[in-house]
Amino acid sequence: MTPQLEEARRLLRLARRDHETFDLLFPLPKASLAALGFLAQQSAEKALKSVAALRSIEIRRTHDLVALGQTILDDGGTLPLTADELRCLNPFAVEFRYDDEAIPTTTREELSTFLSAVLIWAERLVEG
């Protein structure tokens, strides 16, 4: 196993862990959109980084999913979501965790759909 594949699989495991927690909280009405969005954003971020690692793309420390996606596109890869869809998840990384007046950019259902698309895509690429 190459170091790139090993790192890609590690990041994918971490993405799945965040997704599992998202799935546990999703049906609970008291689970805040901010908390769900944070888990969705973190899972998507790790999934994108897993694909970047597989492609031997240098992974910089960022929570910006659009920038991560663009790095993969610049390397000749494809993405499962548009830049606008990825952009909807970005505020959950930091802004919505510390601002109780923030206006969410997406719904719970959209978070679930976006997250599933990113994970399926990353799993297909990393695990073949």
Burial readout 68-101 (b: 16 or more C-beta within 10 A, e: otherwise): bbebbeeeebebbbeeebbbbbbbbbeebeeeee
- H helix runs in 26-107, sequence order: 33-54, 65-74, 83-89, 95-98
How much of the chain exceeds pLDDT 90, in percent? Answer: 78
Distance between alpha carbon 31 and the CA centroid of its chain, in Å?
19
Min mean pLDDT across 27-31, 33-37, 66-70, 100-104 is at 100-104
pLDDT average, residue stretch 48-76: 94
Check residue 16 and give its pLDDT: 98
Domain 3-127 has CATH 2.60.40.1120: no
pTM of the predicted model as reported, rounded to 2 decimal places? 0.93
Q: Which residue has the higher pLDDT, 113 or 62?
A: 113
Check residue 98 and give its pLDDT: 65
Check residue 62 and give its pLDDT: 86
